[in-house]
Chains A and B, each alone.
Chain A
Amino acid sequence: MSDSKAIFLKDATVNAADGDQRAFIRKALGGYYVNRDLQKARYRDWERARDAASLAKWSAVNDLANVLEKFVTNFERNGGVVHWARDAAEARAIILKIAEDNKAKAIVKSKCMTSEEIHLNDALEKAGYGVVESDLGEFIQQLRGEAPYHFVFPCMHVKREAISELFTKHLGTAPTDSPEELTMIARRHLRQLYVDADIGITGANFLVAETGQISITENEGNARLTAALPRIHIALSGIEKVVNHLDDLSVLLPMLATAGAGQPMTCYNTLYSGPRKKGECDGPEQFHIVLLDNARTRLLADPEQRDALHCIRCGACLNVCPIFKNIGGLAYGTTYQGPIGSVITPHLRGLKQWNHLSGASSLCGACTDACPVRIDLHHHLLHNRRNAAKESPTLFDQVFHHGFNFVIKRPWLFATGGRIFRATLPLLQKLPLPYMGAWMKTRDLPKAPAQSFRDQWKNQNV
Chain B
Amino acid sequence: MSDARSDIFARIREALKVKAPKPHLKGEPKPGSTSSVAKPWLPDGGETADASLSILAEQLAKLKAVLIRVPDHASAAKAVAELSAAKNWKKVAYHGHPLLRPVAAALPCETWEADTSFEKQRLEGCDAGITTCESIVAQLGAILVSSASSGGRALSILPHVHVVVAEASQVVPDLGSALALAKARHGDQMPSMLSFITGPSRTGDIERILVLGAHGPKELYLVLVG
Partners in one complex: yes
Interface residue ranges, A against B (CB under 8 Å): 28-29, 31-32, 42-49, 51-52, 54-56, 58-59, 62-65, 68-69, 77-78, 84-86, 90, 134-137, 140, 153-156, 158-160, 163, 179-180, 182-184, 186-187, 190-192, 195, 211, 213, 219-222, 224-225, 227-229, 239, 244-251, 253-254, 261, 263-277, 280-283, 287, 291, 293, 297-298, 300-301, 303-304, 306-307, 374
- With A43-B42, A249-B179 already in contact, the answer to whether A220 and B154 are too (CB < 8 A) is no
Q: Give A38 to B110 CA distance when docked, in angstroms.
A: 43
Q: Give A146 to B216 CA distance when docked, in angstroms.
A: 26
- With A44-B42, A251-B39 already in contact, the answer to whether A154 and B205 are too (CB < 8 A) is yes
Please pick, from B27, B153, B198, the residue contacting A227 in the complex, using a CB distance under 8 A: B153
Please pick, from B19, B118, B148, B179, the residue contacting A247 in the complex, using a CB distance under 8 A: B179
Residue among B23, B188, B193, B211 with max Cβ neighbours from chain A (10 Å): B193
Residue among B118, B179, B188 with max Cβ neighbours from chain A (10 Å): B179
Q: From A283, which residue of chain B is reached at the shortest CB distance?
A: B153
Please pick, from A156, A227, A251, A281, the residue contacting B208 in the complex, using a CB distance under 8 A: A156
Q: From B199, which residue of chain A is reached at the shortest CB distance?
A: A267
Q: How many residues of B contact A (CB 8 A)?
A: 88
Asked if A280 and B140 sit within 8 Å, CB to CB, the answer is no
Residues 172 to 210 of chain B near chain A (Cβ within 8 Å): 174-176, 179-180, 183, 188, 190-209
Contact residues in B for A153 (Cβ distance below 8 Å): 204-205, 208
Asked if B12 and A183 sit within 8 Å, CB to CB, the answer is no
Asked if B190 and A211 sit within 8 Å, CB to CB, the answer is yes
Question: Is B22 interfacial (CB-CB < 8 Å)?
Answer: yes
What are the 8 A-B residue pairs with the smallest beta carbon separation, nearest first? A221-B216, A220-B214, A45-B41, A301-B15, A228-B153, A250-B176, A48-B41, A137-B205
Known: A195-B120, A195-B121, A283-B153. 5 other contacts (CB 8 A): A86-B8, A136-B206, A183-B214, A227-B153, A254-B175
Asked if A254 and B40 sit within 8 Å, CB to CB, the answer is no
Asked if B202 and A195 sit within 8 Å, CB to CB, the answer is no
Please pick, from A227, A264, A268, the residue contacting B197 in the complex, using a CB distance under 8 A: A268
Contact residues in B for A85 (Cβ distance below 8 Å): 4
| Interface 1/0 per residue, B27-64 and A, CB below 8 Å | 11101111000011111100000000000000100110
Asked if B214 and A222 sit within 8 Å, CB to CB, the answer is yes
Contact residues in A for B193 (Cβ distance below 8 Å): 227-228, 270-273, 283
Identify 5 residue pairs between A and B in the complex whose beta-carbon atoms are under 8 Å apart, listed by A's number.
Answer: A153-B205, A221-B201, A225-B216, A244-B31, A265-B140
Asked if B115 and A281 sit within 8 Å, CB to CB, the answer is yes
Q: Give A158 to B199 CA distance when docked, in angstroms.
A: 26
Interface residue ranges, B against A (CB under 8 Å): 3-5, 7-9, 11-16, 18-23, 25-29, 31-34, 39-44, 59, 62-63, 114-116, 118, 120-121, 124, 139-142, 147-148, 151-154, 157-158, 174-176, 179-180, 183, 188, 190-209, 211, 213-217
- With A65-B13, A280-B152 already in contact, the answer to whether A221 and B175 are too (CB < 8 A) is no
Contact residues in A for B23 (Cβ distance below 8 Å): 51, 54-55, 58, 307, 374
Q: From B22, which residue of chain A is reached at the shortest CB distance?
A: A58
Asked if A247 and B8 sit within 8 Å, CB to CB, the answer is no
Asked if B16 and A62 sit within 8 Å, CB to CB, the answer is yes
Q: Give A253 to B213 CA distance when docked, in angstroms.
A: 22
Contact residues in B for A222 (Cβ distance below 8 Å): 214-216
Smallest beta-carbon distance B49→chain A, Å: 20
Contact residues in B for A63 (Cβ distance below 8 Å): 16
Smallest beta-carbon distance A164→chain B, Å: 10
Please pick, from B19, B34, B151, B201, the residue contacting A303 in the complex, using a CB distance under 8 A: B19
Residue among A42, A136, A190, A221 with max Cβ neighbours from chain B (10 Å): A221
